[in-house]
Amino acid sequence: MTLRVIAIDGPAASGKSSTGALVAERLGWAHLDSGALYRAMTLAALDNLGDEGGGKGEGWNPQRIVALAQELPITLALVGREFVPTVAGVDVEEAVRSERVTTRVSAVAALPEVRAWVNAEQQRVVRQHPAGVVVDGRDIGTVVFPDAPLKVFLTATPEERARRRLTQRGQAPDAERVRRESQALAARDDADRERPVAPLKPAADAVLLDTTHVSLEEQVARVVALARARFRG
C-alpha cells in the first residue's frame, strides 16, 4: 500500500508549517510539524533540567531528556487536522515558540537519542492516521519517511525568510530587524546543516521550490497539484 505521507523539508522560516497546514486542509489530511516536537523536548529540558548545559543546552544528558519525554509525557494530540505537542497533558503549541526555546532547540535536535525518540513518535502517529499526513521538518524526506511518494524542499533567501518571520510576530520588517533576524536564522541553518546526524539537505528525489518570489497561496497550489498527481484515489 502507498504510504500516504507528504514530506516538506527546508530551512528555518521557509514556510514549511504554513504550507503543510494548508495543503493538509485542501487534501483532508492531517498535519504534523516535527519542529514542534523538538521544541517541546527543548522546553521540557529547560523547565526540568535547568541550565546544567551551561545555559546553551549542549551539556544536557540525552538519556535524561528522552526519559523526561517518556515520564512527563511529551505526546502529540490531534486537534482538528493539526498534531499539537503536549507536555504533561498541557498544550504547549504557543510556549514552544518562545525565544529561550528557539535559541536552544538546534543543540537538542543534534542529539541522536532525541532524534530517535522524535522519529519513532512521528512514525507511530502516521501509522495511526492512514488517511494521510503532511509532515514538515528538516529530515522527513531523507530519514524519517524516505519512502514518502511526494517530497518537497522549500527554500527562500535569508532576508525574505526573516521578513516573513517578523511579520508573523507582528513586528515591522525594517532593515535593522531584518538584518538581525536573518543572522539568527542563518546561525540555526548552519547548525542544522552541519550536524553529523540527519543534517538539513534535500532528498535526491525532492521537488525543489524556491519561494522567494512566490506567494503562500501559489506554493500551496503547487504542492496540492503535485499531491493530486501522486496520490490518485
**Between 138 and 163, whose beta carbon lies closer to ligand CDP?**
138
Task: Specify the stretch interacting with ligand CDP by CB under 6 A; choose among 57-65, 66-74, 134-142, 206-214.
Answer: 134-142
Is residue 182 near ligand CDP by the rule CB under 6 A? no
Q: Find cell 522567494 and name the residue.
A: 212
Site residues for ligand CDP, 204-233, by CB under 6 A, read none
For 197-211, b where at least 16 C-beta lie within 10 A, e where not — what string?
ebebebbeebeebeb
Q: How far is CA 88 from CA 27, 107, 116, 143, in A?
A: 31, 23, 20, 28
Is residue 109 near ligand CDP by the rule CB under 6 A? yes
Task: Decide: 152 and 159 in contact? Cβ < 8 Å.
Answer: no
Which residue in the set 105, 156, 166, 206 belongs to the binding site for ligand CDP (CB under 6 A)?
105
Task: Give the number of C-alpha atoms closer than 13 A to the C-alpha of residue 224, restricted to the C-beta side.
Answer: 16
**Between 124 and 228, whose beta carbon lies closer to ligand CDP?**
124
Is residue 101 near ligand CDP by the rule CB under 6 A? no
Is residue 35 near ligand CDP by the rule CB under 6 A? yes
Site residues for ligand CDP, 57-96, by CB under 6 A, read none
Secondary structure (3-state) at 8:
strand
Total interface residues for ligand CDP by CB under 6 A = 16
Quickly count: other Cβ atoms within 10 Å of residue 191's Cβ.
Answer: 16
Which residue in the set 4, 31, 104, 138 belongs to the binding site for ligand CDP (CB under 6 A)?
138
